[in-house]
Structures are given as C-alpha cells and as structure tokens.
Amino acid sequence: MTASKLSHIPAPGPDRRMRRPGAQMELARDTLALSGGLVIDPATKAIAPNISMSVNNVLEPGDGAFSADGIDDLTALPFLYARWTNPTVRQLEQRLAALEGADDALATATGIAAIGATFLTFLKKGDHLILSDVCYAGANELARRILPDYGIEVTAVNMSRPEDVAKAFRPNTRLVHCESPCNPILRLTDLAVISALARQHGALMSVDSTLATPVATQPLSLGVDLVIHSLTKFINGHGDALGGVVCGSKDLVETIRSRAGVYLGASMPAMNAWLIMRGIDTLFPRIRTISETASKVAAFLERHPAVAVVTYPGLSSHPQHDLAKRQMAVSGGILTFQVEDQDRTARQLAERLKVGHYAFSLGHQRSIVVLLDTQEMMKSTYQLTGEPLEDYRRFAGDGVFRLSIGLEAAEDLIDDLDQAISG
C-alpha cells in the first residue's frame, strides 16, 4: 500500500474503524497513528506535513463568512482565518480523531484550553457538573473556583466509587468529567460504568485521557462522549510544544468549535501542530517502550529499602489492578512512590539525579520526577476532608513522588534513582 493511497483515507466516520477504500482490511492502530488522517500535500506531493503559517488564505468570491454564528460546519469552509481553522492544525485534528476512533477533534493551544472549552460549551448558568475530586490541578481549580462565579454548580466526587457518583446526579447535571488514571495519584475510573451512569441521567461524559494515552485506552469505545488530552504530554512527547485536544462525535466537536473554539481564541499555532504530528508518528513505539521501562522501574522501587509504597497500574499491588488490566492495553508511563522522609529525598533527587530531572510536567522523552506533598496539594487545590481525604491518602500517604518515565535505558534510570534515593 503506498502512502498516496493512504492519503485518500478520510478521517474515520461513525463506525470508528478505518478501512482502505474498496478493501475489507482494518488497519492496526499503530498504522493508524502514521496514516489515519494523513494528507499528502496536493501541490508538492509532500508526505511529511507542510507547515502552513499563513493567518489568512485567498478566498474565491462568495467564499467569505463574516461570523461563525449559524454555520453548521466550520470545517467545510475554505481556510479563511487561522483562528478558526488552519490546514496544518486541521490535519493534526484528523489524525487525532483517527487515533481516538472519533468523528472529529478540535485542537487547542493547551490542554487546559481543551478542558475549559468543554466546560464552557456544555455548561451554562444553572447547570451542574460532576467532577472527579482528584484530577489535574488546573482542571480542578478551574471547575471549583471559576465555574461557580458563572452560576454553574460543581460536585467533586471520588470517581472510583460508582455508588457515590450515582448519588451526585441532580436534574440539572449536564456533564461528568474525570481522568483515568488520575493525576497525580493514579486512581482509576471505570469508564464503562461511569459513562453508563451519565447516559442514564442524560448527561455527557468527558475524560481527560492524558495519562493513559490513546495507546492504553480508547474511552469512546467504552461509552465516553468526549476525550481530552494535554498534547503537551505523551502525544507530543518531546517537551517542546503546548497543545490540547477534545475528540468526539461530529455534532459535539462542532458545537465546541463554533463556540469556545472561535470565541475564546485558544487556537493552536501551526508550528505546534506540526511538532505534535511528528510526535504522533512515534507514539505507539514510544509508549510501549516507556511502559516497559515503567514496569521495570516500579518493580525495582517496590523492592528498594528506602521506598515505602509504589503505585503503578501495572503492579498487582495497585488497588485497581484488575480494572487496569481490563481498561488499559499498556500500563503507561507514570508511577508514584512514597518514602519516609520525603523532604530529604526531594533534596537528594534534585541534587543527585544525572539521567532524570527533578521538574514539573510529565510525558516527555526524558524522565522527570517531582514531590507532590499531600498537605500542600490539599491547601492549594483539592481541599478534601474526611473520607475523601482518607481515600486520597490511601493512594498518596503524606505525599508522592510522581515519576514520569522517559526513553532512557531502564538500567540507567534504575541506577540513577538508586544512587539518588539511597543513603
């Protein structure tokens, strides 16, 4: 099969499978990551995407649209202004939709912009959001601190307890938002169960699948309506571009695009779309290697005398290991560990690491570790008390070192961590 034939494969439709035109063969997802949504440039025949930096493109008379209001499908318009759509960003969107088995996708400037766009599109004054009580700090703070100012009610619930989620629904619940695994404690959500609850109550369900990546989990196939990623993390994977995406049905994505996409203005720059597409080319082998290394490092840390607890979905000691096996094709690149004296270990890691780095963020080609102290996380973000706090502590104790595994050789990473945390 030649690349030019693949270029005629459209972004996937509602049946969520990619087939070669006229053939019955279904493409493996590794292949989809390379060819799903790929567009061969008609002018140059370039296979690698060109970067279209132009803010505007020449119109044919009668092509113009002066407002996004009332237009059913903004992507059917010619490329008229880059804040609305841009050829490079559009190709990225189609490739991400292919990866997630979605009809369509909207790329945004950052992951938090994709989350904000989803919230501000589907929630209005008087609506109710059910939110995972532990999720990416920015999403949690946006929902609990900002949305109530706009008359939106928010209930934070432990999403690993479906009975608590069931009780949280109100007649005005419009959206359920969660992560699996959740950042930073790696608690899982049973996406099939929670999305079924949302459906029963007439609410949409969005999941931030950044930590799982499309390699591990396909949330749309489990009944979720919208899949969000911070592309800044594993999908770009090289720590050099911010980006976000929300994937889903044509109608839902078009609704987000025509509201938050156009009017909130968090459009993705073409250069970032190009970098992120390069990341997608190697996503599957990267995530498989990273997951294998993470499993080796997790097993090593579990045996290490300086380490009290290791949490990793791939370990049989993970409290939801059975769910992880069902819902995740690979166990992912993030693990956490706990130690007795976390402040001393944080200092040692910052001073001694030679291969990894002591730094925020995650999902890059180089390993990164950082301490997330439970008391500080409660003060700055989650503000849990009582049973929800106990639930958090069951995964995180007094604090976790969140270790994001990179592409270094497992033995080197293990030796580096060993010399940094010992003594």
| CB nearer to ligand PLP: pick between 208 and 254 | 208
Return the range that interacts with ligand PLP (CB under 6 A); candidates 39-47, 109-117, 279-287, 341-349: 109-117
Position 118 contacts ligand PLP (CB under 6 A): no
Position 336 contacts ligand PLP (CB under 6 A): no
Tell me the site size for ligand PLP, rule CB under 6 A: 14
Report, in Å, the least distance between residue 274 CB and ligand PLP: 17
In whole angstroms, what is the distance from residue 174 CA to residue 398 CA? 34
In whole angstroms, what is the distance from residue 353 CA to residue 347 CA? 10
Report, in Å, the least distance between residue 135 CB and ligand PLP: 7
Report, in Å, the least distance between residue 298 CB and ligand PLP: 19
Report, in Å, the least distance between residue 358 CB and ligand PLP: 16
Position 338 contacts ligand PLP (CB under 6 A): no
DSSP per-residue letters across 1-61: --HHHHTTPPSP-TT---B-TT--PBPPHHHHHHHTT----TTT--SSPPP---S--PPPT
Closest Cα to residue 391, out of 314, 308, 319? 319
Position 112 contacts ligand PLP (CB under 6 A): yes
| CB nearer to ligand PLP: pick between 211 and 227 | 211
* CA distances in angstroms from 379 to 132, 212, 347, 382, listed in the order given: 17, 27, 22, 7
Show the site string, 65-104: x = touches ligand PLP by CB under 6 A, - = not.
Answer: ----------------------------------------
Q: And the tokens for 160?
A: 């690993």
Residue 313 burial (10 A CB sphere; 0-12, 13-18, 19+): buried
Window 124 to 153, contacts with ligand PLP (CB under 6 A): 136, 138
Position 242 contacts ligand PLP (CB under 6 A): yes
Position 306 contacts ligand PLP (CB under 6 A): no
Position 111 contacts ligand PLP (CB under 6 A): yes
Partner residues linked to 154 by β-bridges? 129
Window 159 to 218, contacts with ligand PLP (CB under 6 A): 179, 183, 208, 210-211
Given a contact cutoff of 8 angstroms between Cβ atoms, the answer to whether 314 and 308 are in contact is no
| CB nearer to ligand PLP: pick between 246 and 306 | 246
349-382 per-residue burial string, b: 16 or more CB within 10 A, e: under 16: beeebebbbbbeebbbbebbbbbbbbeebeeebb
Position 245 contacts ligand PLP (CB under 6 A): no
Given a contact cutoff of 8 angstroms between Cβ atoms, the answer to whether 32 and 1 are in contact is no
Report, in Å, the least distance between residue 44 CB and ligand PLP: 31
| CB nearer to ligand PLP: pick between 37 and 244 | 244
Q: Which residues contact 146 (CB under 8 A, 6 or more apart)?
A: none
Task: Please count the residues of the chain.
Answer: 423
Report, in Å, the least distance between residue 359 CB and ligand PLP: 12
Residue 64 burial (10 A CB sphere; 0-12, 13-18, 19+): exposed
Question: Which residue sits closest to ligand PLP, CB atoms considered?
Answer: 111
Residues that bind ligand PLP (CB under 6 A): 110-112, 136, 138, 179, 183, 208, 210-211, 230, 232, 242, 244
